[in-house]
Amino acid sequence: MPSTLYAAQVPAGYNTASTGKVNTWNDRGTEGAYTQRSSKWLPYIVSGPLSDGMWIVGTIGAIVHVLMWVFSLVMDGLLVSRGDAAMGDNGLQFAIFSLIFTLLGFVTLLVICVTHWATSGIKDGAIPPFLITLLTGSVKITLGLALVLLINLGFTGYYSPPLGTVDMNHANHEQRWIVVLNFVAKTYVATALAANIQYSGSYSDRK
């Protein structure tokens, strides 16, 4: 009976410091958009399993995810720095746009992480839709630009630069591989974002 009276008098969502109530994993959905869970040192958008305390699988996923972001930035930087060598002015413009949108997505991811660290933690599914749109939309745009760059490098002959020397052929071949590797990295990033969002579910379903 005393425990029943105590449970009725303690509002849901209060922390242990004020009431002695222990917050468990089942409590996510009663504490607003942010919740204190020490194991959530990264937001769910980086690694959904890690946000649920699955340390081994979650850490591996987070490391690979972040490395693919860094790899994409490096590939875009190489394309911009060497764009005029084999792709011409048109290809260089596409490479610059790809770098801009990759930076936009990466900065958005950093903003989400900083918000997660500066507050008590973003709950699963609680990232605002406009930030999700900026993040996933920018990656999808760069995927489209990568396809355009492949065409620009001569996969179909359209916009193909004149290959009059061995050096130009070599430059074209290197640029093509950079674009292909960039496309693979961006595909992984886009898939990882979608998988983490699906894994974590909708915030509205947890309210």
Q: Which of 67, 98, 101 is nearest to 81 (CA)?
A: 98
What does the pLDDT read at residue 53?
83
What does the pLDDT read at residue 173?
72
What does the pLDDT read at residue 71?
96
Per-block mean pLDDT, blocks of 10 residues, the chain (207 long): 44 41 39 44 90 88 96 93 65 89 96 91 90 95 90 54 48 80 95 93 67
- What region does 201 belong to: left with phi over 0, alpha with psi -120 to 50, or beta? left
Rounded Cα gap, residues 160 and 145, in angstroms: 16
| Separation of CA 41 from chain center | 16
What does the pLDDT read at residue 170?
52
Alpha helices in the chain, H assignment, sequence order: 2-9, 16-19, 48-51, 55-86, 88-118, 129-150, 166-200
What does the pLDDT read at residue 87?
61
Alpha helices in 87-165, H assignment, sequence order: 88-118, 129-150
What does the pLDDT read at residue 32?
42
pTM to 2 decimal places? 0.71
Question: Encoding tokens for residue 194?
Answer: 């979608």
